[in-house]
Amino acid sequence: MGLPIFECDETVSALGEGDEVEVDADTGEIRDLTTGDVFKAQPIPPFMQELISDGGLIPHVLKSL
């Protein structure tokens, strides 16, 4: 499965090399597990999560045929 893109400028400047992060696609929460910092990005809408889960647009469309 491809990785979704989250846009959050403050996260980019706050994360350090080697920091471990956890991302919640439903809420848009980005948690730096190394420092405990939490950032907020736009969550991925449910229909986009379904497309990602299905492997992209073509597999998603073929699934519904």
Per-residue pLDDT reduced to its tens digit, 2-13: 556 788 888 888
Q: Of the candidates 54, 35, 38, which has an alpha carbon nearest to the alpha carbon of residue 46?
A: 54
Quick check: is 1 in a domain?
no
Q: Given pLDDT bands bounded at 50, 70 and 90, which one contains residue 1?
A: very low
Quick check: is 46 in a domain?
yes
Domain count, the chain: 1
Domain that holds residue 16: 9-63
Side-chain-side CA neighbours of residue 3 (13 Å): 6
Segment 28-62, tens digit of pLDDT:
899 999 999 999 988 888 888 888 889 989 999 99
pLDDT of residue 53: 87
